[in-house]
A and B are shown apart, each in its own frame.
Chain A
Amino acid sequence: MYGRRASQLLKEIDSSEAGQLAPFNSDVFDQVIRECNEHNSQFQTLIRKMVDQNLDIETTRNEDHYGAAIHHLSLLRNKRCLMAYMYNRAEVIQSFRWKVGPVLPHDIQGKLHFSEKEYFKNHSTAIKSYISEMDIDLTVDMVPPKDPYIQVRVLEDIGEVSLGDHSVSLTKNSLHFLRRTDAEQFISQGLMEEFLE
């Protein structure tokens, strides 16, 4: 059945949770590409057959024309599915830049196609360039602020960090009273957590 493998890719996108990526399915992807090229050569063969019989391609409506039409439309469907697959994954990758930061952890990197890794890097650079042009950090302050200072507990050894005009020693399991914007970047990396009594 034409187009069934391509819809498998789409089902994969549909069934994964929002904001999560499944590993890149290169097997099915390559199969769909092969299908496309198959369709194309079949299409060309049929068209050539009609030309050899001196039939006008634009207007003739025989079984070859319809066969060619089916191949053409199946190719288009496969193309749309492939593009949708890549595009939707790219959208999730975009969201990673905001949620996780400019460097992706290894387990996510393992799920990406090499072109997606490049896409992430270029996209990150573009965002960084915009942020530095505007001179406002857009990756902090993701949630409306309730308190200017929060209590945090350090989860992993970070060492000496200079915040504002004084430096703080962030050792594991120590409690600190930090400005919210300073703490946010550590919290999003999972190195700190908010300490709620």
Chain B
Amino acid sequence: MSSWNDDEDLASASAAEAATTDVELLKRAWRNEKAAPEILRFDSPLVSRVREQIQLLEETLDDFSDSGVDDLVVSLYQMDLDRTLFLLRSYLRLRLQKIEKYAMHIARSDDLLSRLSQQERRFTKSPGSDGSAFLVVGLVPSCSEIMEKHLEQSVLSKLPYGYDSVTRQSLSSTEDDMVPEPQLDTFVFCKTKSDVGAFQLDDIGEEVVDLVADDLYVLRYKSIKGLIESGRIDLI
């Protein structure tokens, strides 16, 4: 998995193979998640593989300390383990913090909920979410419920009838206008992985950009959302 195996196999493996190790994939997912304003799709198989490999590395390290392998080698393997662990922790943490920030927005969109892992989904929205989690002993309330309860308790319960909704300003609002949403049209730095060709930047068809492989661009996140999902562009 680690760069160690890559070094050993350098003679036989091609550079392309080395670039798609699980650690590289995790690093790419981590970078994308860091730069994107909204939450991206959770790569469940990748995360499970990385966890297995971390476990394997920990066991290898235990064996080393028993068999008295040279300290330098041990600390290098340890370093590798630490760095992979950091990537994994940071990736999960970034996602959790995005969920914290936009819990109410995510809980109301099936598309966004489908991007979360099972555990993240439980964190965001309780199954049956009618505020029941607070009444059932032992059931942990979800992030969106906690926020709603907090706002209701402190502000909304004191406001006059008709103005006490969490998601709407008043009874005369036609849609849920009080839910904070991420800004999808912020600019992001990105790099193309392969030739995309002429690409339409907005719906009207006014701005068309020619995307060449391995070039750096600064574009609005909303326009390139699809390309990021299909893996043809990376955020940096």
Which residues of chain A have a CB within 8 Å of any CB of chain B?
Answer: 33, 36-37, 40, 72, 75-76, 79-80, 82-83, 86-87, 90-91, 94, 98, 113, 115-116, 118-119, 122-123, 125-127, 129-130, 133-134, 136-138, 140-141, 144-145, 147-149, 180-181
What 0/1 readout, one digit per residue, does chain B (64-90) give for beta carbons within 8 Å of chain A?
000000000001001100110110111
Top 6 closest pairs, chain A to chain B, by CB: A40-B160, A119-B150, A115-B154, A148-B78, A145-B82, A122-B146
Q: Which residues of B contact A94 (CB under 8 A)?
A: 97, 100-101
| Cβ-neighbour of B101 out of A72, A79, A91, A113 (below 8 A) | A91
Q: Which residue of A lies closest to B150 (CB)?
A: A119
Residues B97 and A98 in contact, CB atoms below 8 Å apart: yes
Residues A141 and B150 in contact, CB atoms below 8 Å apart: no
What 0/1 readout, one digit per residue, does chain B (125-143) give for beta carbons within 8 Å of chain A?
0000000000000001111
Q: Which residues of A contact B122 (CB under 8 A)?
A: 129-130, 133
Q: Which residues of A contact B154 (CB under 8 A)?
A: 86, 113, 115-116
- A–B Cβ pairs within 8 angstroms, 22 of them: A75-B163, A79-B155, A79-B159, A79-B170, A87-B151, A87-B180, A90-B147, A113-B154, A116-B150, A122-B146, A123-B143, A123-B146, A126-B142, A126-B143, A127-B96, A129-B123, A130-B120, A130-B123, A141-B89, A144-B83, A145-B86, A181-B82
Nearest CB in chain B: distance from A17 CB, A: 19
Q: In the bound complex, what is the Cα–Cα distance between A141 and B86 (angstroms)?
A: 6
Residues A138 and B89 in contact, CB atoms below 8 Å apart: yes
Using A79-B159, A133-B119, A138-B92 as known contacts, list a sample of 5 further A-B pairs with CB atoms less than 8 Å apart, ordered by residue number in A: A80-B169, A87-B180, A115-B150, A118-B153, A141-B90
Q: What does DSSP make chain A's interface, helix, strand, loop or mixed? A: helix
Q: A76-B170, A91-B101, A145-B79 are in contact. Are A130 and B96 (CB under 8 A)?
A: yes
Residues A138 and B93 in contact, CB atoms below 8 Å apart: yes
Nearest CB in chain B: distance from A171 CB, A: 27
Q: Which residues of A contact B86 (CB under 8 A)?
A: 141, 144-145
Q: Which residues of B contact A33 (CB under 8 A)?
A: 155, 158-159
Q: Which residue of A lies closest to B134 (CB)?
A: A122
Q: In the bound complex, what is the Cα–Cα distance between A186 and B122 (angstroms)?
A: 30
Residues A90 and B150 in contact, CB atoms below 8 Å apart: yes
Interface residues on B, range: 35 or more
Which residues of chain B have a CB within 8 Å of any CB of chain A?
Answer: 51, 75, 78-79, 82-83, 85-86, 88-90, 92-93, 96-97, 100-101, 119-120, 122-123, 140-143, 146-147, 149-151, 153-155, 158-160, 163, 169-170, 172, 178, 180
Q: In the bound complex, what is the Cα–Cα distance between A123 and B153 (angstroms)?
A: 15
Residues B180 and A126 in contact, CB atoms below 8 Å apart: no
Nearest CB in chain A: distance from B63 CB, A: 15
Q: Which residues of B contact A118 (CB under 8 A)?
A: 150, 153
Nearest CB in chain B: distance from A135 CB, A: 9
Q: A76-B169, A87-B151 are in contact. Are A119 and B146 (CB under 8 A)?
A: yes
Q: Which residues of A contact B100 (CB under 8 A)?
A: 94, 123
Q: Which residue of B lies closest to A122 (CB)?
A: B146
Q: A72-B170, A118-B150 are in contact. Are A36 and B85 (CB under 8 A)?
A: no
Q: Which residue of A lies closest to B54 (CB)?
A: A136
Residues A136 and B82 in contact, CB atoms below 8 Å apart: no
Q: In the bound complex, what is the Cα–Cα distance between A134 and B120 (angstroms)?
A: 9
Nearest CB in chain B: distance from A28 CB, A: 13
Residues B159 and A36 in contact, CB atoms below 8 Å apart: yes
Q: In the bound complex, what is the Cα–Cα distance between A134 and B159 (angstroms)?
A: 40
